[in-house]
Amino acid sequence: MTTLHIAEEVATALAENRPVVALESTILSHGLPAPRNLAVGARLEKVVREAGAVPATIAVLDGVPHIGLTQSELDRVCTAGDLVKLSFAPVQWNISESTQGTLRGFHAEPWNKLVHVASGTVFAAIADLRAGSPTAGATWTGELDRARALFVGAGLGNAFQATSDMVVYAYLVDRHWSSEETYPSVAWDDPDLAVAWPITDERLSLSTKDRTNPTLRAHWAAD
């Protein structure tokens, strides 16, 4: 599963608590014509540096989100002509509360989701449950708290476990929930996904539905 790529210069600045300015790339790839777009991109980064901060132009290249671009990557954004414009227009805000050990998932909802843990900490897991996908069966895991949000693309399986005493888990979605909506679910302890959940003792708590989710192989066989 692809993960976030943070340029060395940006990572160093963040580690040293120095200012970093995020710059979007859509205006370069889809707004301004070449070669003006490249000149504007370079000028924006120069202005940020002259102000004493580190520029971090953001783009998704080959499926990987990049925070901070090299010169060759900036050139590609401005000249490739084949980059797809990503958009996220949330229509609903959801909030759930969980106590330590509560585990929810895997659920592959048909909408994009931006997750933010408003209070507490969670162990999150993303899995590609799509049969035939180039990354089918791949997983990503990581810890989320108030300082780190997570974007989950439509169709990807997502799950999380509360690791603090109490968790307030908030997420924006770009499609309204409906009781008639159906979507795939896979067992939290699927042997092929093999996620190392942090809490598996008596504190582990699952909903009745999540206790009966099929394995990944069974899901693919029935699909």
Q: Identify whether residues 56 and 130 lie together within a single domain.
A: no
How many residues comprise the chain? Answer: 223
Q: Tell me the pLDDT tens digit for each residue of 207-216.
A: 999 999 999 9
204/111 same-domain check: yes
What average pLDDT does this structure show over 46-58?
A: 97
pLDDT, one tens digit per residue, over 140-187 is 999 999 888 899 999 999 999 999 999 999 999 999 988 888 899 999
Between the alpha carbon of residue 144 and those of residues 15, 127, 128, 141, 209, the distances in Å are 18, 16, 19, 10, 24
* Residue 84 resides in a domain: no
Q: Give the whole-angstrom CA distance, residue 223 versus residue 217.
A: 10
Q: Are residues 111 and 218 in the same domain?
A: yes
167 with 74, same domain: the answer is: no
Could you tell me which of 72, 150, 154, 71 has the C-alpha nearest to residue 111?
Answer: 154
Whether 209 and 188 share a structural domain: yes
Is 176 part of a structural domain of the chain?
yes
For residues 129 and 213, state if they share a domain: yes
Please state the pTM of the whole predicted model. Answer: 0.72
Last residue of one domain, picked from the residues 23, 54, 79: 79
Based on the fold, state whether residues 179 and 215 are members of the same structural domain. Answer: yes
Residue 188 belongs to a domain:
yes
Query: How many distinct structural domains can be found in the chain?
Result: 2
Q: Is the previous residue joined to 35 through a cis bond, with omega within 30 degrees of 0? A: yes
Domain co-membership, 137 together with 196: yes
* Of 193, 201, 223, 172, nearest in space to 105 by CA: 193
Q: Are residues 98 and 202 in the same domain?
A: yes
42 and 142 housed in the same domain: no
Q: 127 pLDDT exceeds 90? A: yes
Indicate if 75 and 108 belong to the same structural domain: no
Based on the fold, state whether residues 50 and 126 are members of the same structural domain.
no
| Contact criterion met (CB below 8 Å) for 138 and 131 | no
- Asked whether the beta carbons of 136 and 171 are under 8 A apart, the reply is no
Of the CA atoms within 13 Å of residue 154, those in its CB half-sphere come to 11
Q: Give the domain extent around 101.
A: 92-222
pLDDT at 1 over 50: no
Kindly state whether residue 87 falls inside one of the protein's structural domains: no
Specify the CATH number for the domain of residue 109.
2.60.120.10
For range 126-140, the mean pLDDT: 93
CA 54 vs. chain centroid, Å, equals 23
Q: What is the DSSP string of the chain?
A: ----EE-HHHHHHHHTT--EEEEESHIIIIISPTTHHHHHHHHHHHHHHHTT-EEEEEEEETTEEEES--HHHHHHHHH---PPPP-----EEEEEEEETTBEEEEE--SS-EEEEEEES-EEEEEE---TT-TTTT-EEEEEE-TT--EEE-TT-EEEEEE-SSEEEEEEEESS---TT----B--TT-TTT----S--STT-B--HHHHTPPPHHHHHHH-
